[in-house]
Amino acid sequence: MLVSGCSTKKKNFLSRGYHNLTAKYNVYWNGKEAMKEGVEKLEKSHSDDYEQILDVFPVGTSESAKSVYAEMDRGIEKASLTIARHSMLFKGKEYVASIDDAYMLIGKAHFYKRDYVLALEMFNYVIKQYKTSDIRFDGYLWLIRTNTELARFKDGETIILLLEEEKKFPKKKLAELAAVKADYFIKKGDFEMAKDQLNAAIKATKNKKHKARYTYILAQLYEELNNKDSAAFFYTQVLKKNVPYVMEFNARINRALMASAESGTLVAIKKELLKMSKDDKNTDYFDRIYYALGEIAMKEDEKDLALEYFKVSVASSTQNFTQKAVSYYTMADVYFDKPEYEMASAYYDSSLALLPVPNKEYKRVQARQQSLAELVKNIRIIALQDSLLRLGNMSDSELNAYIEEIVEGVRVAEEERKFDEANKPTNQQQLQQLNQNQNATTLPGSGTGWYFYNPTTLSFGANNFRQKWGDRKREDDWRRKNKQANAISQLPGSAADTTNVTTAQLMDPAFYKKGIPRTDAERDSANIKIQNAFYDLGTIYKEQLAENQRSINTFEELLKRYPRGVWNLETFYQLYRLYKAVGDDRKAQEYANRILKEYPDSEYAKIIKDPKYLEKLEVMRGRLGQMYDMAFTNFNAGKYERVIEAADSALTKFKDGKILSKFALLKVMSIGATEKLIVYRQALEEYIARYTAAPEKERAEALLEYVKTLMGETVADEPVKEEPKPEVPPTSDEYLLDMNANHYYTLVASDLPDLSALKGRISNFNSTVFSLEVLTIKDLQFGPDKKLLFVQGFKETKKAMDYYNAILADTTVWQGIDLNKTDQFIISQENFTKFYMKKEVPPYVEFFITKYILKKD
């Protein structure tokens, strides 16, 4: 009977009873306990980030998953043994009840290990194998979770829709289904749908821990949806539950942030926050508390008080760098709205140094910081150059006396710094002072006066501030470590970069005389810098900050200081547009008249005369662009005569447009492909003489030098070096011409400034101009000081030559590259092997020019 009961080949009562019993309470039970232990370990190690929406299922990270491999592997092993030893599958029907659970255990263990592909396989097997059992619904739920982790939202949606139509779905699993769907929608970014599912999960679940967590997440979702009243309500619900202290604390803070001035709760919430600020266990959370107090002050329109709270928040920060970044950019926002742009710029800059890139505010903060950094730079240029000009007008004795005062100030500051450093209290001494003063501590609104008027708390705050920042004067940029250098940079007397100066330099009077304009040329240069900065400043106010009045004031000041300045025409037009925007037609017409009188042939005059001029200009440029695109296509196709015809037509019809210089160079390149070198050279020289300011001029000059080299001429101003001849001169005879072979485009260069950037530009060129070709870019070291870069994928010579001509004509590819230090050609696959082995460039270049360019036998 015992032997019969151990058999899995018979489905009699004894066998089924034996294997059901031993499977469930022996091997499978051990595996389930191992996995349970691992899950508990994961949940304990999980650290919630309260700056983000909490995870519905706290299962740790990729790193923490590694810590439970042993438990999960044991679970998989035991579940697998359960199946191997106890499964009784007859005609598709399983007679041992715990076998399906064993399969699910294996799938879950893989899920917790983050082996999601293996988990998917196992859950799909359960669904297919147990089509009539309720276990299939567990498979579906875990399949949704796995697809969610893999961001396969389409697959997850399919299963969700299937389960919504399933009439036999067990009621006892409705809470889990709602939670799984909430997790899915949160990670998909659909917070509206997610909140509905969390509401359902809260109502259906009986697990108090889960209910509290779902409630907190629901409050966060309402906050994201800008429904502050509902968010505050659910944060309050969290406080009524037995939750971990960190969750309780964050619920209180977030509830405070959600409160509005109309709610009538601000006074009570402030009192609660101030009480929290006295609790020792909140030391690491002071930054959050004071930030919340600052937000309440903002709602009460107490902006100066709010700024003080935000500053205390920053000074109190111990570990939450994201909160510190938030406090910084909130202060920056306040200064931006005042507006005090220099202070705003400094705080945005501090915020970006700490703010995580994925943070939803990162791009906004970055954009403002970039705009303000440019604005502040121009403000400082004007201040510095004005100061230098004033110093330049001093007599030698006056200048020396002024510099001596600065040096004396630096000497005194250095002595004070050394004294403070020698007498700075230790951390232990500060801690003792804190303990002594704790009972007397009074914080804002606590009854005996505001924080900053209370000597005890002010002293403690100051000590904390010094410990973090050192001694700082009450001035802009107080966070800078080198305050001496920064102070000097604000004083008239130094044009140098003072961010890395030494004390010895600051004590040297000669240091301050650098950059002071003494000649007429130097004064002219300083005035040009001031004019450029004024114009840029006015443009930033107008275009980036929408500060029309400040922009007007800046441009008017520019004209007042420089009535015949370098930016007069542009400034007139800017003021014409600005005055029209603010509704001052009289002033707008005044500047329109000045443009028409003083600059009658300018583009701006044409725009004023004909309001549709810009529209017509765009149409013209569009036609010109189409002609150029067609010509470029013909150039790549080797139809050079058509290119020349199109260029002649464009240069005759159109007299304006930046694209004309590109068109003209394309014509010259086509001449180079169809005429003798002497004709090509003459065309290049004419182009360079005509288009003196064109961006393509540098490219044309490089091509001219290359042509001169091909014609046997040396570069001007370079001495001809007598090179010793090798005993056996290299020849091109060993290379074979095979026009049907695969070819490479090849570049050999020395002193490349940035190979990766060049490869990136070539890759962009390939995807734009040769998008139908499958091309690959590779590079090799070519001797001790050169790089060889080649492009593979040309199955015919013609296509390789088209590529060679096209890439030579593209000025974007060769930005920053000295073409005199490059050799470019196409080469067959067989010849490439010989070429790379010999590493002798001139013989093959000779072969290339003869066979491919001149096409001589």
Give the per-residue pLDDT at 485: 37
Residue 57 pLDDT level (bands cut at 50, 70, 90): very high
Residue 456 pLDDT level (bands cut at 50, 70, 90): very low
The predicted model gives 98-106 an average pLDDT of 85
The predicted model gives 497-524 an average pLDDT of 78
Give the per-residue pLDDT at 696: 85
Residue 460 pLDDT greater than 90, yes or no: no
Give the per-residue pLDDT at 814: 85
DSSP E strands in 79-222: the ranges are 89-90, 93-94
ω into 509 cis (within 30 of 0): no
Q: Mind giving me the DSSP string for 275-328?
A: HHTT-GGGGGGHHHHHHHHHHHHHHTT-HHHHHHHHHHHHHH-SS-HHHHHHHH
Residue 70: alpha-carbon gap to chain centroid: 38
Give the per-residue pLDDT at 555: 95
Q: Are 237 and 215 in contact (CB under 8 A)?
A: yes
Residue 445 pLDDT greater than 60, yes or no: no
Phi, psi of 507 (to 5 degrees): -90, -5
Give the per-residue pLDDT at 24: 55
Residue type, 255: R
The predicted model gives 290-309 an average pLDDT of 90
With CA atoms as reference, report the closest residue to 43 among 53, 51, 54, 32: 54
Bridge partners for 12 per DSSP: none
Give the per-residue pLDDT at 427: 47
Measured over the CA atoms of residue 144, residue 146, residue 148 and residue 153, the dihedral's sign is: negative
Residue 817 pLDDT level (bands cut at 50, 70, 90): confident
CB atoms within 10 A of CB 857: 5
Give the per-residue pLDDT at 498: 44
CB atoms within 10 A of CB 685: 15
Taking the model in full, what pTM does it have?
0.53
The predicted model gives 565-575 an average pLDDT of 92
Mean pLDDT of the chain: 81
Q: Which residues contact 150 (CB under 8 A, 6 or more apart)?
A: 116
Residue 556, token pair as written in the block: 């008017």
What is residue 47's three-state secondary structure? coil
With a pLDDT cut of 90, the percent of the chain lying above it is 30
Residue 333 pLDDT greater than 90, yes or no: yes
Residue 452 pLDDT greater than 50, yes or no: no
**Triad 352, 358, 360: Cα angle to 5°:** 80
Give the per-residue pLDDT at 729: 44
Q: Mind giving me the DSSP string for 430-442?
A: HHHHHHHHGGG--
Measured over the CA atoms of residue 620, residue 623, residue 626 and residue 630, the dihedral's sign is: negative
With CA atoms as reference, report the closest residue to 511 among 521, 500, 520, 522: 500
Residue 843, token pair as written in the block: 């013989």
Measured over the CA atoms of residue 374, residue 380, residue 383 and residue 384, the dihedral's sign is: negative
Give the per-residue pLDDT at 198: 95
Pairwise pLDDT comparison (655 vs 99), residue with the higher score:
99
Give the per-residue pLDDT at 761: 86
What DSSP state is assigned to residue 745? E
Pairwise pLDDT comparison (753 vs 696), residue with the higher score:
696
Give the per-residue pLDDT at 235: 92
> How confident is the model over 227-282, as pLDDT tens digits?
989 999 999 999 999 999 889 989 988 988 887 766 667 888 888 888 888 888 88
Q: Give the burial class of 303: count Cβ atoms within 10 A of its Cβ; 0-12 exposed, 13-18 middle, 19 or more buried.
A: middle
Give the per-residue pLDDT at 225: 93
> How confident is the model over 189-240, as pLDDT tens digits?
999 999 999 999 999 999 999 999 999 999 999 999 999 899 999 999 999 9
Find the range with the poorest average confidence among 15-29, 359-373, 657-671. 15-29
Q: Are 179 and 153 in contact (CB under 8 A)?
A: no
Distance CA 213, CA 232 (A): 15
Give the per-residue pLDDT at 779: 80
Give the per-residue pLDDT at 17: 55
Q: Which residues contact 809 (CB under 8 A, 6 or more apart)?
A: 632, 635, 665, 666, 669
Pairwise pLDDT comparison (503 vs 440), residue with the higher score:
503
Give the per-residue pLDDT at 319: 82
Residue 693, token pair as written in the block: 């300011």
With CA atoms as reference, report the closest residue to 139 among 127, 131, 128: 127
Residue 467 pLDDT level (bands cut at 50, 70, 90): very low
Query: Strand 776-781 relative to strand 786-794: parallel, antiparallel, unpaired?
Result: antiparallel
Pairwise pLDDT comparison (146 vs 502), residue with the higher score:
146
Residue 438 pLDDT greater than 70, yes or no: no
With a pLDDT cut of 70, the percent of the chain lying above it is 81
Give the per-residue pLDDT at 16: 52
Q: Give the burial class of 285: count Cβ atoms within 10 A of its Cβ; 0-12 exposed, 13-18 middle, 19 or more buried.
A: buried
Residue 495 pLDDT greater than 70, yes or no: no
> How confident is the model over 629-654, as pLDDT tens digits?
888 888 887 888 888 988 888 777 66
> How confident is the model over 717-767, as pLDDT tens digits?
444 344 444 444 444 557 888 888 889 999 998 878 778 788 888 887 887
Give the per-residue pLDDT at 424: 65
Residue 575 pLDDT level (bands cut at 50, 70, 90): very high
**Triad 721, 713, 685: Cα angle to 5°:** 140
Residue 618 pLDDT greater than 90, yes or no: no
Residue 435 pLDDT greater than 70, yes or no: no
Max avg pLDDT among 302-306, 508-512, 837-841: 302-306
Residue 463 pLDDT level (bands cut at 50, 70, 90): very low
Cα end-to-end span (Å), the chain:
98
Residue 93 pLDDT greater than 80, yes or no: no
Give the per-residue pLDDT at 46: 86
Residue 143 pLDDT greater than 90, yes or no: yes
Residue 454 pLDDT level (bands cut at 50, 70, 90): very low
> How confident is the model over 578-612, as pLDDT tens digits?
998 999 999 999 999 999 999 998 878 888 888 77
Distance CA 108, CA 142 (A): 8
